[in-house]
Chains A and B, each alone.
Chain A
């Protein structure tokens, strides 16, 4: 499977995701944001970091870069797209995913391990997880507080477009286990066709027992299924 990782000035998780993808047998290319065409890609990853120093709004400037025009075209043609952290923020700024990531409710930058529950596993990204499986991921963000209109929120729930929700180690989903104030404890969302996934936690940091755990592996191997 061919993957492309988009690199912006200020990306800082691009190497991590490349290591994870290569370890899990993807043939990966790094693509600089100024490029005007994409190499052959089954999966495009918009990685985490602080593209353009979070100027204006997180992801706003990166969303207008050359390569994003190609990413939007590919996404609309059904290519799999994964936006992690700043990548999620960029995808919402392009309009590929609806909603917006606001400043964390407690105004603090959050860098820690958290738990999420796999709510929807009937999709290309999560089919190797068990439904309601509790996963330990890592978050590192200042703007992860997912907000959208009440109509869209209802649509996300009704159409099962929420793959992950924040919870505690026992799977309890409530206000106390919500680290950043996201609506309905949302940690990630899909578009309608479920070929675009945006998530704040970093699955690429969870692909090796030596440094963390293996909870992120299935997100990538699901795609190889």
Chain B
């Protein structure tokens, strides 16, 4: 079973990388661009047939290592 995990910075955490990327795109003439927040994306394969159990395991992986819950949020989806 395969899942994706999207990790994003929490709202109140500054994202200087996103800001610089947005500024560069605006300098390139992308005038309608309003804001960019940069995040991380993981694709995870797991040998588990029960979807609920698999999701539970991925949730544990996120909380224990992949995500720093002080500054980041995450979202798990089946792919």
Contacts from A to B (Cβ < 8 Å)? 56-57, 60, 64, 93, 99-100, 102-107, 147-149, 181
Contacts and interface: CB of A to CB of B under 8 A. Distances in A.
B16 interface: yes
Given A99-B70, A102-B71, A60 B14 contact: no
B17 A57 contact: no
Contact of B71 (A64, A100, A105): A100
28 contacts: A56-B65, A56-B66, A57-B68, A60-B65, A60-B68, A64-B64, A64-B65, A93-B68, A99-B70, A100-B68, A100-B70, A100-B71, A102-B13, A102-B14, A102-B71, A103-B16, A104-B16, A105-B14, A106-B16, A107-B16, A107-B17, A107-B20, A147-B13, A147-B70, A147-B71, A148-B70, A149-B70, A181-B14
A173 to B, nearest CB: 20
Residue of B14, B20, B70 with most partner-chain A CB within 10 A? B70
A115 B65 CA distance: 34
Nearest to B71: A100
Contacts of A93: 68
Interface of B: 13-14, 16-17, 20, 64-66, 68, 70-71
Given A64-B65, A100-B68, 15 more contacts: A57-B68, A60-B68, A93-B68, A99-B70, A100-B70, A102-B13, A102-B14, A103-B17, A104-B16, A105-B16, A106-B16, A107-B17, A147-B70, A147-B71, A181-B14
A45 B70 CA distance: 25
A105 to B, nearest CB: 6
Residue of B14, B17, B20 with most partner-chain A CB within 10 A? B14
Contacts of A102: 13-14, 71
Contacts of B17: 103, 107
Contacts of A104: 16
Nearest to B16: A107
Nearest to B42: A56
B77 to A, nearest CB: 20
A93 B59 CA distance: 18
Nearest to B69: A100
Nearest to B67: A57
Contacts of A105: 14, 16
A57 B66 CA distance: 9
